[in-house]
Amino acid sequence: MLLAFLLPPLLILAIDITFYGSFKGIDSNVSFTRFSNATLTAYMLCSLFLLGNLFFYGESRNRPLAPLVGMFFATALGVVATVFFIGQGPMLLEDNGSVRAQAIYNVVHMFVSSGAILVAMGVALGVTFSAITSQKQRNNFELEEE
């Protein structure tokens, strides 16, 4: 299943190697910068979302403070790491001039990517569901009816 998931990009790589003899269009430095920014931003935003979920967890545990503080520090660590690594210079700065501009760009970029991911998941799940419901109704109780 994992191989099926990775098949389309692997096929494009195979086609590129066959016709051009190399990975055409991949700049490893730029791709690494994007990967690092996406990792840091996803960690930060996902931690914030999970920190919010801890309130619901607390409702069934007499509202303990320990996990809330723990997750708060984990989220803060993500924010500090993001600011620190972006501030190291051109390594994680894309076309932006300052740490703040890059951090805001990362968040907006993440919203757009998340939107694309949600629509793609909606299409894939929806088409799977519609393919299943478009078939003739199955009778699972043939033996019981006999």
User: What residues numbered 44-73 form the site for other proteins, per CB under 8 A?
Assistant: 44, 46-47, 50, 53, 57, 64, 66-67, 70-71
Structural contact between residues 26 and 64, judged by C-beta atoms closer than 8 angstroms: no
Smallest distance from other proteins to CB 145, Å: 18
Q: Binding of other proteins at residue 76 (CB under 8 A)? A: no
> Do the beta carbons of residue 40 and residue 102 sit within 8 Å?
no
CB of 80 to other proteins, least distance (A): 14
Query: Is the CB of residue 47 less than 8 Å from the CB of residue 75?
Result: yes
**18 near other proteins, judged by CB under 8 A:** no
Query: Which one among 17, 76, 91, 120 touches other proteins, defined by CB under 8 A?
Result: 120
Q: Which of 90, 134, 139, 145 binds other proteins (CB under 8 A)?
A: 134
- Contact (CB, 8 A) for 94 and 33: yes
Among the listed residues 14, 15, 17, 91, the single contact to other proteins using CB under 8 A: 15
Give the integer Cα–Cα distance in Å for 51 and 57.
10
CA angle 94, 39, 57 (to 5 degrees): 140
Based on the shown chain and the rule CB under 8 A, indicate whether residue 14 belongs to the binding site for other proteins. Answer: no
Select from 54, 57, 59 the least CA-distant residue to 71. 54
Pick between residue 28 and residue 145 the one whose CB is nearest to other proteins.
Answer: 28
